[in-house]
């Protein structure tokens, strides 16, 4: 039975709408559906409607209420708040909401937000944006039958999936996940028991894509290598070159990078990341999509958040 142990992760990018429907049985994740739809950026409701049609039977028959939408890091404001002293989760939530609204100087009813309580750091990490910033997307989702339960940052979703895969695979060398998009790229790095590093960077692939859609892979790869090396310098001790053992490439453009060339330029092992490793997925589900498997890393990480909230 699909039931309550299921969730949908939804990503609405500039020209693509993607989703993943996953279920958890015991400690195993099962991918029930993935979908990617191209659409005109001026009309996201067209792409969202196509997504809704592909999962209509799940929404209706199983009543999935854990539906998570991704938000780009550049669209939100981050706040680091002190831990609150409360007896219950509801009291804690209420206090955090008030502190967040007060720190931003914006009424709570005008905000969309989420937060993570970091007891090990003695703080609450929160992010927020005005509802008006996502109004078009959320209205389109609501009109087509979706019912969002939570927002989640794209880098958080990727980090969640990346940590799961790292712990599952137990790689000999610590990997850094690089999710390459058409205009934004995400870097995720996890050192167990030490720290998490994630960063969203403006990395455009436009100069490496020909008018017919084909890719100049050498130009793309050299540009990416230069950007990664630049991030090493900017991040300093947060992202030491020696601590990164290998590179995992993900995202809708990741599979177009020349892995051998990038490996040579960075002096690191480079592999195409399989976001479905450790998940049960039928070949018929995987082969039904035209986009590369790396494009579904974010929706999978979002859906994992939905399942975590349901447990």
Query: Domain limits of the chain?
Result: 6-73+134-156+280-309, 75-131, 167-274
Which class would CATH give 75-131?
alpha beta
pTM for the structure as a whole? 0.86
Confidence of residue 311 (pLDDT cuts 50, 70, 90): low
Distance CA 48, CA 37 (A): 8
The sign of the dihedral angle between the CA atoms of 288, 291, 294, 296 is negative
Alpha-helical (H) ranges within the chain are 44-54, 56-62, 89-104, 131-143, 154-169, 217-235, 259-266, 283-286, 297-310
- Fold that domain 6-73+134-156+280-309 belongs to in CATH: Nucleotidyltransferase; domain 5 (3.30.420)
Integer-rounded Cα Rg, in Å, for the chain is 19
- Encode pLDDT of 275-301 as tens digits: 998 899 988 888 777 788 999 999 999
Confidence of residue 2 (pLDDT cuts 50, 70, 90): very low
What is the CATH code for 167-274? 3.30.420.40
Distance CA 163, CA 248 (A): 12
Q: What pLDDT is attached to residue 1?
A: 35
* Structure tokens, 75: 């669209």
Worst-scoring range by mean pLDDT, 55-59, 188-192, 290-294?
55-59
Contact 178, 247 (CB under 8 A): yes
Distance CA 181, CA 223 (A): 13
Bridge-partner residues for 101, per DSSP?
A: none
Distance CA 40, CA 31 (A): 27
* Structure tokens, 249: 């490439």
pLDDT beyond 60 at 11:
yes
* Structure tokens, 235: 């991040």
Do 75-131 and 167-274 share a fold? Answer: no
Contact 294, 271 (CB under 8 A): no
Alpha-helical (H) ranges within 175-248 are 217-235
- Encode pLDDT of 88-136 as tens digits: 888 999 999 999 989 988 888 888 888 888 887 788 888 888 888 888 8
Distance CA 68, CA 66 (A): 6
- Encode pLDDT of 234-285 as tens digits: 776 666 667 788 899 999 999 889 999 999 999 999 999 999 988 999 888 8
The count of C-alpha atoms lying within 13 angstroms of the C-alpha of 278, restricted to the half-sphere facing its C-beta, is: 18
* Structure tokens, 120: 């090990």
Distance CA 25, CA 20 (A): 16
């Amino acid at each position: 039975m699909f039931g309550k142990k299921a969730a949908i992760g939804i990503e609405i990018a500039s020209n693509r709408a993607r989703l993943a429907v996953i279920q958890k049985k015991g400690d195993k994740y099962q991918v029930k559906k993935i979908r990617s739809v191209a659409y005109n950026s001026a009309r996201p409701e067209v792409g969202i409607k196509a997504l809704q049609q592909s999962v209509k039977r799940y929404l209706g028959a199983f009543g999935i209420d854990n539906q998570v939408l991704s938000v780009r890091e550049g669209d939100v404001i981050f706040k680091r708040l002190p831990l609150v002293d409360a007896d219950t989760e509801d009291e804690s939530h209420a206090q955090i909401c008030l502190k967040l609204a007060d720190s931003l100087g914006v009424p709570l009813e005008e905000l969309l937000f989420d937060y993570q309580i970091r007891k090990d750091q003695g703080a609450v990490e929160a992010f927020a944006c005005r509802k008006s910033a996502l109004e078009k997307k959320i209205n389109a989702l609501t009109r087509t039958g979706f019912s969002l339960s939570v927002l989640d940052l794209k880098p958080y979703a990727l980090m969640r999936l990346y940590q799961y895969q790292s712990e599952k695979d137990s790689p000999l060398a610590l990997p850094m996940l690089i999710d390459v998009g058409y205009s934004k790229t995400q870097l995720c790095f996890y050192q167990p028991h030490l720290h998490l590093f994630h960063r969203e960077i403006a990395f455009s692939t436009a100069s490496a894509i020909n008018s017919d859609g084909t890719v100049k892979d050498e130009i793309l790869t050299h540009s990416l290598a230069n950007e990664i090396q630049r991030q090493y310098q900017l991040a300093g001790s947060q992202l030491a070159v020696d601590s990164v053992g290998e590179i995992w490439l993900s995202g809708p453009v990741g599979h177009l990078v020349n892995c051998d060339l990038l490996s040579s330029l960075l002096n690191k092992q480079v592999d195409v990341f399989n976001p479905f490793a450790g998940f049960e997925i039928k070949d018929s589900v995987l082969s039904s999509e035209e986009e590369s498997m790396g494009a579904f890393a974010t929706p999978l990480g979002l859906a994992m958040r939905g399942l975590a909230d349901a447990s």
